[in-house]
Structure 1
Amino acid sequence: MSPTADDSGPTAPGGTRIAEFEADTRAHRRLYWITEPAELAATVREHTESGRALLAGAATAAGTGAGAGTGAGAVRLALAESLLLMGRVELLGLHDPATARDSLDRAREAAAAAGDPLLEAAALAHSALLAPDRAVGGADTEGGGEAAAALTGARALLTAAGTRAAGVLDWLDAVEAERAVRDGEYARALRLVGRVAEARGRGEANPVPDWLDWCTTARIGMLKGRVQLAAGLVSQARRTLLYAMGGVAADDHGQRALFYAGLAAVESADGQAYESCGYACRAMEHIEAGGDVMGVRGSLAQYLHDSCVEDLYESLALSPAEPATPSDITGVRGSGDKTA
Structure 2
Amino acid sequence: MSPTADDSGTTTPGGTRIADFEADTRAHRRLYWTTEPAELAATVAEHTEAAGALLTRAGDGSGADGGDLSDETAVRSALAESLLLKGRIELLALRDTDAARASLRRARETAAEAGDPLLEAAALAHSALLAEDRAVGGAEGEGSGEPAAALAAARALLTAAGTPAAGVLDWLDAVESERAVRDGEYARALRLVGRVAEARSRGEAHPVPEWLDWCTTARIGMLKGRVQLAAGLVSQARRTLLYAMGGVAGDDHGQRAQFYAGLAAVEAADDQGYEACGYACRALEHIEAGGDVMGVRATLTQYLHDTCVEDLYQSLALSPSEPAVPSDITQVGGPGGGGGGAPRI
TM-score of the two chains, using structure 2 as the length reference = 0.89
The match for 1:334 is none
Once residues 31 and 171 of structure 1 are traced to their aligned partners in structure 2, the CA distance between those partners, rounded to angstroms, is 21
The match for 2:336 is none
Is the CA contact (8 Å cut-off) linking 1:3 and 1:17 kept in structure 2? no
The structure-2 alpha-carbon separation of the partners of 1:213 and 1:135, relative to structure 1 and needing over 3 Å to count, comes to farther
Deviation string for 1:5-41 (max 9, x for gaps)?
9987616xxxx81111111101111211111111111
The match for 2:105 is 105
Once residues 65 and 297 of structure 1 are traced to their aligned partners in structure 2, the CA distance between those partners, rounded to angstroms, is 47
Once residues 90 and 292 of structure 2 are traced to their aligned partners in structure 1, the CA distance between those partners, rounded to angstroms, is 14
Equivalent AA in structure 1 for residue 283 of structure 2 = A
Is the CA contact (8 Å cut-off) linking 2:108 and 2:120 kept in structure 1? yes
Is the CA contact (8 Å cut-off) linking 1:62 and 1:69 kept in structure 2? no
Once the two structures are aligned, what percentage of the paired residues are identical? 79
The match for 2:293 is 293
The match for 1:46 is 46
Is the CA contact (8 Å cut-off) linking 2:45 and 2:86 kept in structure 1? yes
The structure-2 alpha-carbon separation of the partners of 1:2 and 1:118, relative to structure 1 and needing over 3 Å to count, comes to closer
Once residues 328 and 265 of structure 2 are traced to their aligned partners in structure 1, the CA distance between those partners, rounded to angstroms, is 18
Classify the secondary structure of the residue corresponding to 1:98. Answer: helix
Once residues 270 and 329 of structure 1 are traced to their aligned partners in structure 2, the CA distance between those partners, rounded to angstroms, is 20
The match for 2:302 is 302
The match for 2:320 is 320
Greater relative contact order: 1 or 2 (C-alpha under 8 angstroms, separation 6 or more)?
2
Deviation string for 1:23-72 (max 9, x for gaps)?
11011112111111111110111111112222222222279992333211
Once residues 264 and 18 of structure 1 are traced to their aligned partners in structure 2, the CA distance between those partners, rounded to angstroms, is 45
1:1-340, aligned counterparts within 5 Å?
1=3, 10=14, 17-61=17-61, 66-135=66-135, 144-325=144-325, 327=327, 329=329
Once residues 316 and 64 of structure 2 are traced to their aligned partners in structure 1, the CA distance between those partners, rounded to angstroms, is 63
The structure-2 alpha-carbon separation of the partners of 1:179 and 1:314, relative to structure 1 and needing over 3 Å to count, comes to same
Classify the secondary structure of the residue corresponding to 2:135. Answer: helix
Runs of 4+ in 1 over 3 A off after TM superposition: 1-9, 62-65, 135-138
Task: Give the deviation of 1:192 after TM superposition.
Answer: 0.2
The structure-2 alpha-carbon separation of the partners of 1:17 and 1:328, relative to structure 1 and needing over 3 Å to count, comes to farther
More helix by share: 1
The structure-2 alpha-carbon separation of the partners of 1:199 and 1:242, relative to structure 1 and needing over 3 Å to count, comes to same
Single out whichever of 288-297 and 187-196 deviates more from structure 2.
288-297
CA RMSD of aligned residues (A): 2.5
Once residues 60 and 110 of structure 2 are traced to their aligned partners in structure 1, the CA distance between those partners, rounded to angstroms, is 18
Classify the secondary structure of the residue corresponding to 1:80. Answer: helix
Single out whichever of 217-226 and 320-329 deviates more from structure 2.
320-329
TM-score of the two chains, using structure 1 as the length reference = 0.90
Is the CA contact (8 Å cut-off) linking 1:94 and 1:294 kept in structure 2? no
Once residues 259 and 64 of structure 1 are traced to their aligned partners in structure 2, the CA distance between those partners, rounded to angstroms, is 48
Equivalent AA in structure 2 for residue 110 of structure 1 = T
Task: Give the deviation of 1:129 after TM superposition.
Answer: 0.3
Is the CA contact (8 Å cut-off) linking 1:131 and 1:144 kept in structure 2? no
Is the CA contact (8 Å cut-off) linking 2:51 and 2:75 kept in structure 1? yes
Is the CA contact (8 Å cut-off) linking 2:13 and 2:64 kept in structure 1? no
The structure-2 alpha-carbon separation of the partners of 1:27 and 1:326, relative to structure 1 and needing over 3 Å to count, comes to farther
Classify the secondary structure of the residue corresponding to 2:285. Answer: helix
Equivalent AA in structure 1 for residue 277 of structure 2 = C
Q: Which 5+ residue runs of structure 1 have no aligned equivalent?
A: 331-340
Classify the secondary structure of the residue corresponding to 1:259. Answer: helix
The structure-2 alpha-carbon separation of the partners of 1:10 and 1:235, relative to structure 1 and needing over 3 Å to count, comes to same
Classify the secondary structure of the residue corresponding to 2:324. Answer: coil
Is the CA contact (8 Å cut-off) linking 2:171 and 2:196 kept in structure 1? yes
The structure-2 alpha-carbon separation of the partners of 1:315 and 1:300, relative to structure 1 and needing over 3 Å to count, comes to same
Classify the secondary structure of the residue corresponding to 2:327. Answer: helix
Task: Give the deviation of 1:179 after TM superposition.
Answer: 0.2
Pairs aligned (count): 324
Is the CA contact (8 Å cut-off) linking 2:268 and 2:276 kept in structure 1? yes
Classify the secondary structure of the residue corresponding to 1:168. Answer: helix
